[in-house]
Every structure is written in C-alpha cells, then in structure tokens.
Amino acid sequence: MKDVDHALEKTIRGGRLSVDECLTLFEEENLIPLGLAADRVRKKYHPDSIVTFIIGRNINYTNICITKCRFCAFYREKGHPEAYLLTKDEIFKKIEETLELDGTEILLQGGLHPDLTIDYYTDLLRSIKANFDIHIHSFSPPEIVHISRISGLTIEETLQELKNAGLDSLPGGGAEILADDIREHISPNKIGTQDWLKVMEVAHNLKMPTTATMMFGSVETFEHRLKHLEQIRNLQDKTGGFTAFIPWTYQPGHTALGGETTGAFDYLKTLAISRLFLDNIPNIQASWVTQGAKIGQVALAFGANDLGSTMIEENVVRATGVSHRMPKGEMIRVIKDARMIPAQRNTFYGILKIF
C-alpha cells in the first residue's frame, strides 16, 4: 500500500496522522482521494449532513495600524487622508442593521491603533452590551497583545477586563503562518508565534472560546503549514478551546508583499488535510470570502461543514480587490444545491434554525 493510501486509511479509521504522514499528503498530486477521505471524516463529526452558517458582521472599527504588515492592503498610518476611527454612533448603527437582518454576532477587528488604551475598549464593550443583545466575537491576538502593552497590563489581566466588559469570544486573526521565519518576512512588526499561542491559551483558561485560522499561499512551504497545524493541534489537546479552524488564502492585490493568488487546487488540498490532521477540532470552515461561492460550495465535499459568516460587511479582504458577497438566501441555496442541509447557528455552533 502506498504511503498516501496508508495515511488516508489510518485517519478514516480514526487514527491520528503523524507529522511525516501529513507531509506525505501535502506532497500528493491526486486531489480526489484527499477530498474523499476528508469528506468521510467530516461525516464522523457531522453525520446528519447539516452545513452551518452564522449571520454576522465584521466591523473594522479603525484602519489605523502601526504594524504595517507586508501582506495587508487595509491599514493606513495615523494622519493618512483615508485613516479612520469609527464613532460609537457609527458602530451602533451597524449593529442595528445586523440585528434587523437576524444577525447574532459582530466581529470587531481593527488595526493596532497607537492611542487606544483598554479604557476605550471596555467602554465600547459595555456600551454595546447595554444597548444590544448580540454576541461580541472580537479582537484578535495581536490586538490583545497591543492593548496589554499600551495599557501596562498582562495578557490575562487584559482578557479578564475585556471579558468583564462584555467580550464573549475571540477570533483567530493574526495567525497567518505560525512560524517565526515566515512572520519576520511578511509581518515583521507583528507578534510572534508564541505570543499568538499564549493569548489563545490564556483565553481558553478564562473559559473564552476562540477560533483558529491559517492564512496560506504567500511565501511559506508545506512544512511551514504543517508546523502551523501541529501547533494548533497541540494547543487544542491542552485546552480544548478552539471551536473551529478556518484556513484561507493570501490575497496579493494592493499589498507590498505582492505575489500570485493561490488556486483552488491548493486551497482544497489544504482544506482537506486540515480536516484530516486536526482530529480534535470539530468544525472546519470554508472560506467563500476569498474563494467565492462556487469553490466554497465545492469545499463542502473536501471536509468543510461550515460556511462561516454571511459577513454583512467585510473590509480587509476587499481592500485587496477581492469582493465576494453571500447574503443569507444565497448561502442557503449554495448549501442545498450541494445536497446538504442549511442551518443558521450561533457563535458556539448551536443550531438556531434549519432551512
């Protein structure tokens, strides 16, 4: 039996892939067996063929950022004519619009603003909770570390204060590739691998669930992607706090890093391998935001069981020139056309409504 066949059989039977076995899968050129195996493993976690989505909005409260990542087209320096910081009223209006569309979640995510201390964030969170019944899934690990440094607090103190003010859970943004040689090349001013993992571990210990992400397709190798997946799996073994894993592809448009767009073949392969390797994370999310609705639909046969947020608003990927839309009705149609059952969920993957 070939090494690839042996590895796929092992994971289908419920065995855990080793790092070497996973590297063998990355080097495999035949995509279909990977997809078939990932789909069989997906059915173990989700045997009823329900595919979930959440109605939510990304509110990018500021584009002012001091990290100047080479892969980012969204940030602006303070004083730039396009730099902004949303007012509280502007944020409230976006939340009202989200609730009118049956939304249940907002994702506040912005640049690392040089002047905003924790008082800004706790005041904003308390104001939102005082006025709206909505889940706040917000602030990536780089934002948490930045807030802690500018406020003279530890990461644990920062997360505890934000939680006390109304923060419900954390997104996995800012992970990119968890390998410091890659991070030093594409985002030299951003936090390192260990800081990203530390924020997630502290959040999990404070009973704050988080998601995990991976942005791939810039300058990393398969070994780097594997290193990323291994660290996510190891932390999940330790804490159990990740609710989902979301791999998405680097978009080179309007960035200092430049390069080529990752194709659907590489995307689907990496998605399938993520499903096979991360045997301790129940949900794998397809990235229609970067791949579009059609590849997002195909991803449901390569291990994904969730299409993520309807993203009533999204600005970071759009800044690269890539703009896909997926309102609720389109989300339901895409899932039904894939012969699966659409269901709206909450942030913790609880089913709210089946269509």
Determine the pLDDT at residue 75: 92
Question: Model confidence over 145-199: pLDDT tens digits?
Answer: 999 999 999 999 999 999 999 999 999 999 999 999 999 999 999 999 999 999 9
**What is the average pLDDT across 310-332?**
80
For residues 269 and 317, the model is more confident at 269
1 band by pLDDT with thresholds 50, 70 and 90: low
pLDDT at 319 over 90: no
Determine the pLDDT at residue 313: 74
Determine the pLDDT at residue 266: 96
Determine the pLDDT at residue 182: 96
316 band by pLDDT with thresholds 50, 70 and 90: confident
φ and ψ at residue 66, rounded to 5 degrees? -95, -5
Q: Report the alpha-carbon distance of residue 353 to residue 345 in Å, rounded.
A: 7
How much of the chain exceeds pLDDT 90, in percent?
88
**What is the average pLDDT across 24-43?**
95
**What is the average pLDDT across 291-318?**
88
Determine the pLDDT at residue 2: 80
321 band by pLDDT with thresholds 50, 70 and 90: confident
pLDDT at 289 over 70: yes
**What is the average pLDDT across 323-335?**
87
pLDDT at 122 over 90: yes
Mean pLDDT of the chain: 94
Question: Model confidence over 336-350: pLDDT tens digits?
Answer: 999 999 999 999 999
Prediction pTM value: 0.94
